[in-house]
Amino acid sequence: MTTRVIVLNGGSSSGKSGIARCLQAVLPEPWLTLGVDTLIDAMPSTVDDGIDFASDGGVNVGSGFQRLENAWMAGVAAMVRAGARVIVDDAFLGGAESQRRWREALDGLEVLWVGVHCDGVVAAGREMARGDRVAGMAEAQAEAVHRGVVYDFEVDTGLNEALVCAREIAARIA
């Protein structure tokens, strides 16, 4: 079976989006990149029990967000089943439970699960430079998103540039 989905999981500002762009450049076939930020940007602000970004960097998701996220996950899986190759850029706020939900949505598809690690202090510096995140989010998520998650491969963007990480991931695509 051929890998049709690459799931990149890492905290905010860990380098997932940069790796995804580099993967699109180095992989021989076209791959779509869909990130949780795409979902958040697409959501109306009126979602009851949606997503809340706390001033300390914490992120709380409610049942309204999860309902739309489940539909989004099913949609991503449907795109893959229709022939697309997809790179998912996500932050598993629920750790192993978030991966379980993705596994359920992607059931029957060949998936490469990639942990994107970055030291919290390094990620916090990136977060500050970006200016589009709540301060503290990167450091709070740096380790939490990996708790209980099982990967096929792991990279560290604090030690390697996005292109190096992308090439290492691309070498594992069957």
User: What's the rounded Cα separation, in Å, for the pair 77 and 153?
Assistant: 21
User: What's the rounded Cα separation, in Å, for the pair 152 and 102?
Assistant: 15
With residue 86 as reference, give the H or E element that holds it.
strand 86-90
SS3 labels along 88-129: EEECCCCCHHHHHHHHHHCCCCCEEEEEEECCHHHHHHHHHH
Tokens of 30: 């076209």
User: What's the rounded Cα separation, in Å, for the pair 73 and 109?
Assistant: 13
In the residue annotation, 37 being an active-site residue is answered as: yes
- φ/ψ of residue 50, rounded to 5: -90, -120
Check residue 106 and report its DSSP letter.
Answer: T
Answer whether 3's CB lies under 8 Å from 11's CB: no
Given the residues 37, 119, 152, 156, the one annotated as active site: 37
Instruction: Kindly list the catalytic residues.
Output: 37
